[in-house]
Amino acid sequence: MKFWKEHTSLRVTLIALFFFVGLGLVIYGWTLTGKLSGLGLMIVGVILLLAALMIYNKPFETEKRKL
């Protein structure tokens, strides 16, 4: 996608933000052992980590050609 290749500073900022917030949520949720809210925080943290990975990989995707 051209958008993510052209806006590298936005991409790097979003990746760093999602990574550190997601990692913080996973670690904080892990400290809440035995509580359901801890599991919810860890799931949200993993979703943010996966979103950071998705944003990182976007510029390397190839466009699909329609037949």
Contact (Cβ atoms closer than 8 angstroms) between residue 45 and residue 26 = yes
Asked if residue 7 is part of any domain, the answer here is no
Asked if residue 67 is part of any domain, the answer here is no
Single-letter code of the amino acid located at 30: W
Asked if residue 64 is part of any domain, the answer here is no
Burial class (CB in 10 A: 0-12, 13-18, 19+), 33: exposed
CA 31 and chain centroid, separation? 21
What was the pLDDT predicted at 31?
Answer: 93
Count of domains observed in the chain: 1
Asked if residue 15 is part of any domain, the answer here is no
Asked if residue 9 is part of any domain, the answer here is no
- φ, ψ at 7 (rounded to 5°): -110, 70
Asked if residue 13 is part of any domain, the answer here is no
Task: Read off the pLDDT of residues 13-66 as tens digits, 9 standing for 90 and up.
Answer: 999 999 999 999 999 999 998 889 999 999 999 999 999 999 998 888 877 777
Asked if residue 34 is part of any domain, the answer here is yes
Contacts for 33 with CB less than 8 Å, ≥ 6 apart: none
Asked if residue 40 is part of any domain, the answer here is yes
The reported pTM is 0.83
Range of the domain at 50: 22-58
